[in-house]
Structure 1
Amino acid sequence: MTRHRDRNRSARFKELLPIFAIVLTVGAIAALTVLAPRLDRAEKASADASTSPSAEPAPTTSGSPRPLPEFKKLAAPPAIAKVPKKPKIDPCAAPRDITVMTFNIKGGKVSPGELGGIADVIRASGADVVLLQEVDQNRRRSGNVDQPAIIASHLGMQSVFGANDWITDRGGYGNAILSRFPIDGSGNTHLPNRGGKEQRGVLRADIIVSGQRLVVFNTHLDHTSDSLRRTQIGAVMSKVGAYDGAKILGGDLNSGAGSGVLGAVLGSLSDAGASLGASHDGGGRVDYLLPNSWLAAGDGRVSPTRLSDHHAVSIDFAVRGAADC
């Protein structure tokens, strides 16, 4: 009985062998179909990586690192030339010669036609900087014209005007400064006053003379009260003292030599025209040019005219820049 069963099992196994062989064959073919493309791509990638010029070199087995490739050295860019500094001006090396004039033109009561005559007086003196007092700007009594601008136009100069009294909504009366050199800035300051008195002022102009600043002050003090003039000159000198460098004060001080007004000025400025004599038709000397030690005075002139009761006073200066030059 047992032998019979063994024979039956052996016969069934033999019958199933062809089927198993077919299944294994089909499975093997399927596996090769799926895996073959993947293996092929992997082999190509490995080959490309080994032959690529950008691939990093494999580390050596000797333990010492492979030296890095040498890079090409680039030439350094050319150095940028430094901007040269502006040379410092030696105030003592080259004096700057200028001529300054002060001229009271009689209350601005000249006609427009006479302004050319005033310009002629200035031109004849060779003045580079001019201080005018009693000047009108757009006032009816003097023809409604801008007097400082017209005079300056005759001379090819610049001008600034300081109104101390406004007669109408557009007409002014005061002082003016004219300059052949550039005017870099200006300002007008009213001086102390008393009721009923004419308002006075001090006009300032910053003038550039060959690269150096010269501060010019022009004033006209009260003509009726010595005590008021003393108060006014104190305010003027306070203004003058606020500026450093080369500076000059000029104008009609309505005070003579030996006066308290002049004494207050000579503490820090000098009287450049002390030897010039009278500057007024009445015989007195009231018109001054008063520089500080940065200016050295030269020749001076007093020019009487028929255009005003004051004479034109002009003095040559060398702007040296320091007291010890």
Structure 2
Amino acid sequence: MRYRLLTTVTLALGVVLLVDVLRVFLPAVITIFGQAASTPAELLGAFAFGWFLLALAAPALIRRVGARPVTLVAAVLLVVARLAVNGQPGGRLQLWLATAGLLAGLVWLAGVAAGTDRPVPGLALGLAVGAVLHTVLDTYRSAFFGDWPAWLAAVGVAGLFLAGQARPAPPAGAGGVRSWLLAGPALLLAGMVALSPAVARTATSYQFGLLRSDPADEVGVATVPLFGPAPLAVAVGGFLLAALAPPRRGAWRWLGPVALVGGTVLVALGRGELLLPAVLLTAVGLGACLASAGAADGRGDDGADEARTPVPGGAGQDPARAAGGASAPARAAGGGQDPARAAGRRGYAAVAGMLVFAVAAVAYYSAYDLGHPNAGVPVAVAALVAAVALARRPAPGPRSPLPPVWTAATAAVMTLLAAVASDELLSATNRDGPPETVRVAAYNVRMGFGMDGRFDPDALARAVAGADVVALSEVDRGWLLNGGHDTLDLLAERLDMPYVFAPAADPLWGDAVLSRWPLDAARTRPLPAVGAPTGAQALGVTVDFSEGVRLAVVATHLQPPPGEDPVVQARAVADFAVRYAAGRPLVVAGDLNTEPGDPAFAEFTRAGLVDALAAARPLPTSPADAPRQQIDHVFVTPGLAAADAAAPPGTASDHLPVAVTLTLPPV
């Protein structure tokens, strides 16, 4: 069957739009439907999963009405929802627009699957283009903001997509089921690991950090990366070369599946220094598995090689009518299958693959609320992809969908585009000697999402404007569930502050310290879990004011057991902080989930620390829109005089920041 460029480009653009909608839908379920963790996790999962389950009706609708009208209508609705989301960055309307876009996208995917038996080139290009756009637009503007780069990208992609969708697709053969089944798992693995610019940047910050830190003290911290998202360029290029080149045969065909499973095993180990090889292995392995599945589809679903003569029933025709008019020779050419049945199988395979996406995403991320093990989820999805890729040997003869020159050129262009999106270098200065005072802020940023579900790093930066040292809690550096943003890097760019990050739940979620002065001697310690599902740690860093003047800062986010006070964790943090400071002035700051007078609060005062916010009490910080609880705190050693304590109002997170000016002791 001849390769058709228009079909592939249209599918690729549709994948970009669907992924963009998913990047809004998933965090909207958490922050808007979830109402700041007040909605049970089981209900959140049921709401998210239900829309994927509803899409199972799409293949039956396509068989009854016809693939072309259903696909066109779904494509238009997907575009309308995508553009509407761009102009509605928050609130319940955003949730329902994203939900409508998701359902339309799933129906569109089933319709395209019914009429396309060679989807691998389009799927691979779509995932690669989406990753590059996500990088160029700084991982967030394409889905949440209506500035001109976002509108230009959104309107351009949508226009080209609809223009291509309006053209009838070439007739389809009988294969394609395996490739379409892998669409959902490939989207999950690409978004979680392989083609995520935020994950690539975070992985680089573990390996190639710019800040100094004593190797004897450092345990798994990440600092400002030297190369930013540059590894994504290698990942995109390797993924495309593996996906679009002819698949390996014989024993060599095991290389891709082994690389894919191996990469996800490195992710499951939960070590930041293994994240970079995990990204690269997963990207190349995923591409190779897609190529193997596509080549195996060339044999037809019964194992027979497809004839070159196409069978009616593509996206431009009603499969049911095509089935009725197909001759016996035509059915034989399609591997002996009824074209309508083949189209239906592909449609159900595409939806089933997206169900795998939904189940795996819910199973993985709900663990941080429910406490069940989740490290094996990406490994299980990778094993499924590998098994499908190895289930049938490729069809004989070359199966490359593009000529070799086109394959190499496409990979090179995508690699170059990904490489040009680099980080800005952040500055840290000693100014003109040590300062007399330093403004310290603590802020639980809730992964960057405000009370209205809007992801707004500019609002986060305004909330802590004027601070010299900032301790952050609930920092997300690339979770697909939250849209794949590197919240810490985006905020650091706006504040022009370098940072140190310490993982808590996994290498992408934890706490951080940013400073206008150089940071040094980072050290992190895990805290006792005490029944809380989300991990917790204490991060110690030293702020170097020069001339021997230094300030020890410990950032943490206590995670109490349900209905209890985090006494055990508070005692562990206080003990760690005092030992880490070793007699230097000390600040302990963060979301401590305890109020003045509670036993956990008393652990800090018992360790000799002083409540730096005492003069401004009561100072409630949560929830941000109607604060009632005083759970965000700053403690200091007695030699640091505190003044001007405040909790600036705002709804850029579900907490208010707290800030206080500290007078440093004389040299």
Please tell me the residue identity of whatever aligns with 1:280: S
**Whole-angstrom distance in 1 between the partners of 2:441 and 2:456:** 19
Q: Is the 8 A contact 2:447 2:482 kept in 1?
A: no
Q: Is the 8 A contact 2:532 2:561 kept in 1?
A: no
Q: Once the 2 structures are TM-superposed, how far is the Cα of residue 196 of structure 1 from its aligned partner?
A: 5.7
**Whole-angstrom distance in 1 between the partners of 2:435 and 2:654:** 35
User: Match of 2:572, SS?
Assistant: helix
Q: Is the 8 A contact 1:230 1:261 kept in 2?
A: yes
Q: 1:164 pairs with 497, 504, 510, which one? A: 504
Q: Is the 8 A contact 1:112 1:145 kept in 2?
A: no
Q: Once the 2 structures are TM-superposed, how far is the Cα of residue 226 of structure 1 from its aligned partner?
A: 6.7
Counterpart in 2 of 1:236? 573
Q: 1:248 pairs with 587, 593, 599, which one? A: 587
1:222 aligns with 2:562: no
Give TM-score, length-normalised by structure 1: 0.64
**Whole-angstrom distance in 2 between the partners of 1:195 and 1:103:** 24
Please tell me the residue identity of whatever aligns with 2:534: E
Counterpart in 2 of 1:120? 462
Q: 2:621 pairs with 263, 267, 279, which one? A: 279
**Whole-angstrom distance in 2 between the partners of 1:319 and 1:200:** 29
Look at both structures and tell me which one has the larger radius of gyration over its CA atoms: 1
Counterpart in 1 of 2:480? 140
Q: Once the 2 structures are TM-superposed, how far is the Cα of residue 321 of structure 1 from its aligned partner?
A: 5.3
Q: Once the 2 structures are TM-superposed, how far is the Cα of residue 224 of structure 1 from its aligned partner?
A: 3.4
CA displacement 1:241-264 (0-9 Å, x = unmatched): 212211110111111111111111
Q: Is the 8 A contact 2:449 2:455 kept in 1?
A: no
Please tell me the residue identity of whatever aligns with 1:214: L
Counterpart in 2 of 1:22? none
Structure 1: tracts of 5 or more residues without a match: 1-93
Q: Is the 8 A contact 2:477 2:484 kept in 1?
A: yes
**Whole-angstrom distance in 2 between the partners of 1:108 and 1:302:** 18
User: Which structure has more strand as a fraction of its residues?
Assistant: 1
Q: Is the 8 A contact 1:204 1:218 kept in 2?
A: yes
Q: 1:259 pairs with 582, 585, 598, which one? A: 598
Say if 1:224 and 1:107 are closer, same or farther in 2 by CA, change over 3 A. farther
How is 1:58-77 mapped onto 2 (pairs within 5 angstroms)?
Answer: none
Q: Once the 2 structures are TM-superposed, how far is the Cα of residue 143 of structure 1 from its aligned partner?
A: 2.9
Counterpart in 1 of 2:545? 209
1:101 aligns with 2:437: no
Please tell me the residue identity of whatever aligns with 1:192: P
CA displacement 1:74-131 (0-9 Å, x = unmatched): xxxxxxxxxxxxxxxxxxxx862110000111244468951121112222xx100001
**Whole-angstrom distance in 1 between the partners of 2:494 and 2:646:** 22
Q: Is the 8 A contact 1:100 1:127 kept in 2?
A: yes
**Whole-angstrom distance in 2 between the partners of 1:270 and 1:183:** 24
Q: Is the 8 A contact 2:469 2:515 kept in 1?
A: yes
CA displacement 1:256-284 (0-9 Å, x = unmatched): 11111111111210001022421112401
Please tell me the residue identity of whatever aligns with 1:273: L
Say if 1:321 and 1:138 are closer, same or farther in 2 by CA, change over 3 A. farther
**Whole-angstrom distance in 2 between the partners of 1:113 and 1:283:** 24
Q: Is the 8 A contact 1:107 1:135 kept in 2?
A: yes
**Whole-angstrom distance in 2 between the partners of 1:114 and 1:258:** 34
Q: Is the 8 A contact 1:247 1:292 kept in 2?
A: yes
User: Match of 1:187, SS?
Assistant: strand
User: Match of 1:222, SS?
Assistant: coil
User: Match of 1:266, SS?
Assistant: helix
Counterpart in 2 of 1:188? 524
Counterpart in 1 of 2:9? none
Q: Is the 8 A contact 1:254 1:286 kept in 2?
A: yes
**Whole-angstrom distance in 1 between the partners of 2:475 and 2:435:** 32
Structure 2: tracts of 5 or more residues without a match: 1-433
Identity of aligned residues (%): 27
**Whole-angstrom distance in 1 between the partners of 2:612 and 2:468:** 17
User: Which structure has more helix as a fraction of its residues?
Assistant: 2
How is 1:4-23 mapped onto 2 (pairs within 5 angstroms)?
Answer: none
Q: 1:200 pairs with 525, 536, 539, which one? A: 536
Q: Once the 2 structures are TM-superposed, how far is the Cα of residue 312 of structure 1 from its aligned partner?
A: 1.0
**Whole-angstrom distance in 2 between the partners of 1:183 and 1:118:** 22
Q: Is the 8 A contact 2:448 2:457 kept in 1?
A: no
**Whole-angstrom distance in 2 between the partners of 1:312 and 1:182:** 23
**Whole-angstrom distance in 1 between the partners of 2:532 and 2:545:** 40
**Whole-angstrom distance in 1 between the partners of 2:594 and 2:455:** 31
Please tell me the residue identity of whatever aligns with 1:310: H
Q: Is the 8 A contact 2:594 2:600 kept in 1?
A: yes
**Whole-angstrom distance in 1 between the partners of 2:532 and 2:459:** 33
Q: Name the stretch that deviates more: 207-216 or 104-113.
A: 104-113
Q: Once the 2 structures are TM-superposed, how far is the Cα of residue 209 of structure 1 from its aligned partner?
A: 2.1
**Whole-angstrom distance in 2 between the partners of 1:210 and 1:320:** 14
**Whole-angstrom distance in 2 between the partners of 1:264 and 1:231:** 9
Q: Once the 2 structures are TM-superposed, how far is the Cα of residue 141 of structure 1 from its aligned partner?
A: 2.7
Cα RMSD after superposing both structures: 2.2
Q: Once the 2 structures are TM-superposed, how far is the Cα of residue 149 of structure 1 from its aligned partner?
A: 1.8
User: Match of 1:303, SS?
Assistant: coil
Please tell me the residue identity of whatever aligns with 1:279: T
Counterpart in 2 of 1:302? 647
**Whole-angstrom distance in 2 between the partners of 1:321 and 1:262:** 29
